[in-house]
Amino acid sequence: MSLKLYNTFSRKKEVFKPLKKGFVGLYTCGPTVYNYVHIGNLRTYIFEDVLRRTLEAHGYTVQHIMNVTDVDDKTIAASKHAKKDLSVFTKEYEKAFGDDSAKLNILAPTRPFVRATEHIPAMIMLIQKLLRKNYAYEKGGSVYFDISKFAPYGKLAHLDKKGLKAGARIDVDEYAKDAAQDFVLWKAAKAGEPSWPAPFGSGRPGWHIECSAMATAYLKQPFDIHAGGVDLIFPHHENEIAQSEAAYNKPFARYWLHGEHLLVDGEKMSKSLGNTYTLRDIEKKEFTPLSLRYLVLMAHYRTKLNFTWQSLKSAQQAYRELVEFTKELIAEKSAAPIKTAHSYASYEKKFFAALDDDLNTPKALAVLWQFIRAYHKAKTTYPNAAYALLLKCDAVLGLEFAEVTLLKIPLAIQQLAEKREQFRTEKKWQEADALRAKIEKMGWQILDTDAGSTLKPRM
Ligand SMILES: [Zn+2]
């Protein structure tokens, strides 16, 4: 099956063909680390994770790069407010973002997050190139990109050329969504703000130049896929294209994928409405993070998703049923004779066909439920094969439902637990308790039931 993805560039679904056989370069815009990310951002990262897992299911080796913006107007203002050093402050939120991603089972990028502040020389080089080629100009110690010099400007966002305001400069990191203006590549140093020396005067990079410099540094140019939220199409991604293509005179990225917004109770999230929820808010209400992931997968990434607490509750319910079904299968599976080699190939085919059609996760989930209903109705079932199918589906959905009772218990923990069992049968209670304490210190909990002991990670 060939994978089709909707390319914002052409506004069409296109068959995905990598530049290099078996390999995909993927760049996704990461967070600005001045606060906890909200569930709208998390929706985008979940969509990108499904994209990556789908590519991997196709056998591609994916080189996935994600940046973190650790210097800009917001991070500087927020760190000042918190009376913390910028780098200490941003690392706290970078860590929180990593923790949130892990809870949502979002695979970590193939390199650790690439930080803007650690790639300033690459950005300076790129700006120098643009100055040399006359695409950029200096003014008052800052450097700007001259959009009138780059003829294809507006090709991603499909901008009306009349809307271009060349010569009108925009100097801040917050951009108006409707006017295309010369944008800042390098901002002149201001007293009390972090700055770096550069041939064109000390200062700090603009937001857009970060992604251009870092994507090319790790993925070369052109690379395969650039993804982000729809709000980044303009001006952020448009400006990335302008910078990179003007500098190197070749395409930047081939496929541009964008995830739609998440609404809360039908409204855009905003501070004034107090509906900018984070994963912490979800956990406070005792929802498991993976039920949010399930909710996100219930909508196609290119449609708006309306979040309500009721919809999260339903998602959590469905997710639990999925977990229960897997548990049933595992129980049957161990009792089932080995030779039940049966495949549920038609469901597998339909499931992956849905994903291949521009990552249609709601359809894929529907196929999964069709399968579960059919399994329950069937007179003869093949739990081994059914379980194998669930594992394959879950590798892409990333819900971990197929692994709930098959926790990856480290060998050392397993051995300690066995040793403890032995002490218990020998009625050596003190020794057994000492091992329990040791196991708990290592982050695992032992649950003793009539049927025996089981291990689970400590919450
Ligand atoms: Zn970016």
Answer yes or no: are the C-beta atoms of 127 and 185 closer than 8 Å. Answer: yes
Q: What is the pLDDT of residue 360?
A: 98
Q: What is the pLDDT of residue 372?
A: 97
**Distance from residue 203's CA to the centre of ligand 1 (Å):** 20
pLDDT tens for 233-275 read: 999 999 999 999 999 999 999 999 999 999 999 999 888 888 9
Q: What is the pLDDT of residue 64?
A: 98
Q: What percent of the chain has pLDDT over 70?
A: 93
* Higher-confidence position of 50 and 439: 50
Least trusted range by pLDDT, from 33-47, 235-249, 339-353, 360-374: 339-353
Phi-psi region of 83 (alpha: psi -120 to 50; beta: other; left: phi over 0): left
Sign of CA dihedral 43, 326, 393, 344: negative
Helix, strand and coil percent figures for the chain, each rounded to 5: 45, 20, 35
Fold of 4-259: Rossmann fold (3.40.50)
Nearest to 290 by CA among 148, 104, 424, 421: 104
Answer yes or no: are the C-beta atoms of 282 and 289 closer than 8 Å. Answer: yes
**Distance from residue 21's CA to the centre of ligand 1 (Å):** 26
Q: At what angle do helices 86-103 and 289-297 cross, to 10 degrees?
A: 70
**Distance from residue 223's CA to the centre of ligand 1 (Å):** 14
Answer yes or no: are the C-beta atoms of 300 and 360 closer than 8 Å. Answer: yes
**Region 159-169: what's the mean pLDDT?**
78
Q: What percent of the chain has pLDDT over 90?
A: 75
Question: C-alpha dihedral over 70, 33, 268, 257, to 10 degrees?
Answer: 60
**Region 155-178: what's the mean pLDDT?**
77
**Distance from residue 250's CA to the centre of ligand 1 (Å):** 19
Q: What is the pLDDT of residue 406?
A: 46
Q: With a cut of 70, say whether residue 50 has pLDDT above it.
A: yes
Distances (CA, A) of 322 to 176, 373, 459: 44, 11, 21
Q: pTM, whole model, 2 decimals? A: 0.87
**Distance from residue 450's CA to the centre of ligand 1 (Å):** 54
* Higher-confidence position of 23 and 164: 23
**Region 40-62: what's the mean pLDDT?**
97
Q: With a cut of 60, say whether residue 407 has pLDDT above it.
A: no
Distances (CA, A) of 311 to 205, 270, 299: 41, 20, 12
Per DSSP, 399 falls in state -
* Higher-confidence position of 4 and 453: 4
**Region 385-412: what's the mean pLDDT?**
81
**Distance from residue 207's CA to the centre of ligand 1 (Å):** 8
Exposed, middle or buried: residue 194 (CB in 10 Å: 0-12, 13-18, 19+)?
middle
**Region 297-302: what's the mean pLDDT?**
98
Nearest to 5 by CA among 251, 224, 236: 224
Q: What is the pLDDT of residue 162?
A: 75
**Distance from residue 230's CA to the centre of ligand 1 (Å):** 12
Least trusted range by pLDDT, from 88-97, 176-185, 364-373, 419-428: 176-185
* Higher-confidence position of 413 and 350: 350
Nearest to 95 by CA among 84, 82, 80, 108: 108
CA angle 174, 178, 180 (to 5 degrees): 80
**Distance from residue 323's CA to the centre of ligand 1 (Å):** 36
Q: What is the pLDDT of residue 176?
A: 62
**Distance from residue 30's CA to the centre of ligand 1 (Å):** 7
Q: With a cut of 80, say whether residue 327 has pLDDT above it.
A: yes
**Region 43-62: what's the mean pLDDT?**
97
**Distance from residue 326's CA to the centre of ligand 1 (Å):** 39
Count the neighbouring beta carbons within 10 Å of the beta carbon of residue 63: 18
Question: Residue 459 has which token pair?
Answer: 């919450």
Q: What is the pLDDT of residue 254?
A: 98
pLDDT tens for 2-31 read: 999 999 999 999 999 999 999 999 999 999
Q: What is the pLDDT of residue 322?
A: 93
Q: With a cut of 90, say whether residue 166 has pLDDT above it.
A: no
Least trusted range by pLDDT, from 197-201, 228-232, 343-347: 343-347
Per DSSP, 139 falls in state E
Mean predicted lDDT score pLDDT of the chain: 91
Regarding beta strands 12-15 and 223-229, do their DSSP bridges make them parallel or antiparallel, or are they unpaired? Answer: unpaired
Most confident stretch, 170-179, 265-274, 356-365: 356-365
**Distance from residue 252's CA to the centre of ligand 1 (Å):** 13
**Distance from residue 28's CA to the centre of ligand 1 (Å):** 7
Whole-angstrom distance, CA of residue 147 vs CA of residue 157: 14
Least trusted range by pLDDT, from 108-112, 159-163, 208-212, 396-400: 159-163
Q: What residue type is assigned to position 325 of the chain? A: F
**Distance from residue 289's CA to the centre of ligand 1 (Å):** 26
Q: With a cut of 90, say whether residue 457 has pLDDT above it.
A: no
**Distance from residue 15's CA to the centre of ligand 1 (Å):** 24
Whole-angstrom distance, CA of residue 298 vs CA of residue 361: 6
